[in-house]
Structure 1
Amino acid sequence: MEVPGRTQDSSPKDSARKSLSRQRTIFCQPCSSDGDTMVAIGYCQNCNEYLCAVCLKVHRKQAVSRNHIILDGDNMPKVTLPTVTPNACSDICTKHENEIIKYFCMSHDAVGCGDCMIIDHKSCKVDRIQDISTEYFNGTEHQNILKKVEQFVKDMDEIKRELQASEGNMRQAYTQAIKDVKAFKKEIIDYLNKAESEMLEMINERKKKNEMLIQELQQAESSIGRNIREIQTKLQLQVNQANDLFVEAKQVKAKLDVIDENLNRLKKDISIDVYTFQHSSSMEQMVKACVPLGDIVDGSKQKIENRASKHDCLVSGKEVTDHTGLDRKSISEMDAYFDCEINIKTQDDASDCFIGKCALICPSQIIVADEKNKCVKLVDVNNKEVSKYNLKYSPTGVAVVNPNRVAVTFPGDRKIQFLTITAGNKIIESDMINVHTSCKKIAIHEDKIIGITDTSVEIMSMSGQLIKSLSHPNMKWLIDIAVIPSSQIFYVSNSLKCFDVFKFDFDGNLIATYKDKDLVDVRGLEVTRDGTVLVCNWTKYGSIHMITPDCKKIKELLKDDRHVRYPWCVTFCNETNKLFIVNNVSNLDKKFKNVLKVFQLR
């Protein structure tokens, strides 16, 4: 029987179902953060979170949340409350474990429990946290903290990116360091292979010479032997015939004198020099000292160096020194101070020295070409001793091929003489080559000879064969040449009409020019390891101009120094920062003659 005012659709059960379906279902917030969907049965006013049965049980057990106010069932809010609401304080005081932090002291910007306020802040104005917390939420301090935290998040993101970049740089540095070590090892092996080939070539040349000498001596012995046997036979045949014997004896008498002379010469020449290999004492010291290939250098401190400096200890010097350059000033930042002078005139010199060129073999040894006395001289820098080797011709230039081999130029005879320096610092002549023109000065570049005439630069093989001849309108009277290792660049000094330094490439293209009002005349050149060019300013009160690789003036060294007059040639040691200068002019004062001036850069 139907009741008025109620239909089937509006039964109490159906109305309740529809009412419940219209209510919003609230889920546990801690579970939701883990991706789980659990219906909330309670709400924590302190934490402002909805909790399921499991989370609520844990919440009531934990010491930190045991005293929180929990609303459950119909008492809990049916919608998510605002993030900040005034709620009861629940954080436990660190000093008084049974008390809750409820108060704030504005004077000391500190929070604490009631005991804290009584003991430490009884004379201060104290507020209840519950009374001021809502206002604080929208205050400046809270906003600043939010901004600072936001900035911290950004900083951490940046740090993360930098860490990732650093990790990439670390891997790259590791790979590059391994590559560099292996490349340097290959350079050393290549150098040793080349040095071995040169030594074997010298031994083979000596063997060929000795074989030719033996062959000539054998031929002479055979010829003399035949003549003696022939005379002996003729004399024996005429032994019983006095007249014939007399005639034959008189005829062979003249031959006997010739044979006697030939026999004496044969006896003198028959002794063949026996040679042995004497290894380099410098190499032996390196092996015994277990010298490392290099060092691991902090990239922020490592100077940019020319690649050639990596094997200076093998190619440019006999002594092994530190090549890292850590905490060292660049050459351009240094000044030169007089250190000492070394007398380079020997007792048997016929005249005063005229040193056309000097070159550094190693930090303790320099070779100089003495044109007037027809010799080269080895200068021991440490002991201030000089050893001399006389030459057939007058040398004007000298260049270091390797620590045991140098080359000197004889322009008047169009020859270049190679000399070998033994482990005992004795000089022996190696091969001499003929060149197509008069080379005054030379430089050794890899496996080539770079020489200068008055008006051209000649690029030749090590055997003297011309590869290329370079000329330019600015090459009028060339004085000296300096080549940058591991590059196709060289510098020349010119001293006619214009007193300049020119920078060319190996194709003869003019790259840069250096001229300066204080550069009166030019002579010797030197390029340091970092590419700085040193130029002798050849004048009465001379100096050394220091210029950049692109021919810009850095500064003038030793200007008005009492030890410098007409500086002719210069060389520099990258290991000790020592500068070596020789003064030259026809009427030079005696106190400047015959000495090698040594200056310390610091």
Structure 2
Amino acid sequence: MAVPGKKMPKHFSLSTIGSDEDMVLYCQPCDHDGPRLPAHGYCADCNEHLCETCFTLHKRHTLSRHHTLLDKNSMPQTMSSASVHPSQPDNLTKPCPKHMKKMIEFYCQNHEALLCCVCVTLEHTSTSCKVDYIPDISGQVINSKEHQDILKTMDTLTERCCKKYEDVKKITAKSNSSLTDVLADIKMFRKEINQRLDELEKQAEDAAKTIQQENNKNLKTVETTCNDVTKSMKISSDTIQHLNTTKQADKLFMELKLAEQMIKDYEKRVQQLTAYDIKEYNFKPNKTVSTLLEKERSLGTFTEKSLKQPSPPPAVDIKSRKTSHQGEICVHTSKDKVRCGISGMTLLTPDLLIITDSYNNAVKMVDTCSQSVTDQLLETGPWDVTSVTSTELAVTLHDKQNIQFISVSSNKLKKKQTLKVDGECFGISYCQGELVVSFVKPAKLQILDINGTVLTTVRGGNIFSMPVNVTTNTDSIYVSDWKMKKITRLNWQGEVISSYGGLTWPIGITLSDDGTIFVCDKKSNDIEEIAGDCSTGKVMLKNLNAPYAVCWCAETRQLFFSCNALPDKNNFLQVFKLS
């Protein structure tokens, strides 16, 4: 496609063979990047010769459809210097971030985006966008109000940054000072633990020594008794044998009777010795102490108090948002066996949306510009997904009780490592190096580090019943529980701060850039907007088809959500713009 004002590349040439009748004219746009094709026509406005394909496209494109076109018989048969070197503003030299070989030349009023000719052709067509050529509209910005306002805003922002740095510098010094006290408290706490363990060790040693002393005392009693019996038996036995040898009948008779009585007495004494129950001992550690040392991951937690001036949580009823339906994106693919069931979604970039299709056991990558699924990865039981980095995701697999990490590279999804968790994991959110995961069986919430170490567990029938989805920011954790019909807000120590009730079936949940919450109320067929402190809320979008999963894009001010009611709606993501 020829574009007005395009400079001819240096490698453009005009083939001449012999006389003027043998001159071959080539398509100038194709000669920029593609194969050399013979000219089929000519654009008088662009001063360019065009091949048959470019000639046809030139008549269709919104920027050139009104140009004057000459066919092959009417077009100039020579190349003018103006055609070889068409004019272009020398300052249009900023490369397009998406198409580095092309310069930015256009501006889309709808998307407020700077574009090159490829962007215009592929993503911002005349049917959906109002596109202007920059040199045609740029003159109005000289000394304009926009120019003045932007400079003023930049100055204000610069001042805010300087003030913010000084403020943070001061409170950082205060924070570091408090950490010095924390380190001293840790050492003191460790000393107290050591002292208590020493006391418990002394108690155990004393108990063992008492048993040893009792054993030795019993042994001494047995030894004395046995020695007495043995000695008396020996004397009596020798006497009886002597009297029998010397035939002293009278004395032998009396000695035998005395021996009978002595035997009865000694049998009783020996029988009493069997009452001593001597035992073998083993040490069994205290289960509570053992469990503490085995499972606890820290000596304690840091309690914190913000040093910055607290800002009031956003109140959703301060102003009403304007909403406009931007269309829908089909996410059903040829690989799918049934209709879609989109249960989770997250944005990697404004143009790249990752969704979990629990009905088709798939993780899908969606290009929001081309509005198409660009890759699909099969995985059993995916429910929710969160972005860990700009190229890595974490997906909950509730059937396997696993968290699957997935990398995104060259527009492809690839499985990486997995984490085993202790329950049916559903909702997941990543923030500042930690994963927050909600579980249905058993109903609980866990905060884990990126290696899977459990840092905090929150459970209890009065807190959670069916916590299916979760979202986070640096201040709070928000959990949607459809059985308890409310949104629960917790801090990062796992303590419940507040909650918002009155919902019928809250499920998908996301946070806007200003801290307000968007939650899908499936049964009420609406999406509610709730203040960050859960103090108030209102219906933002209504009469929907069982909204299920939701995701917010701050850059484009767009809200993406799925539906789970009608088969003809399940396969599409709905896109709304908020202002």
What is the TM-score with the length of structure 1 in the denominator? 0.43
Q: Computing the radius of gyration over CA atoms, which structure comes out larger, 1 or 2? A: 1
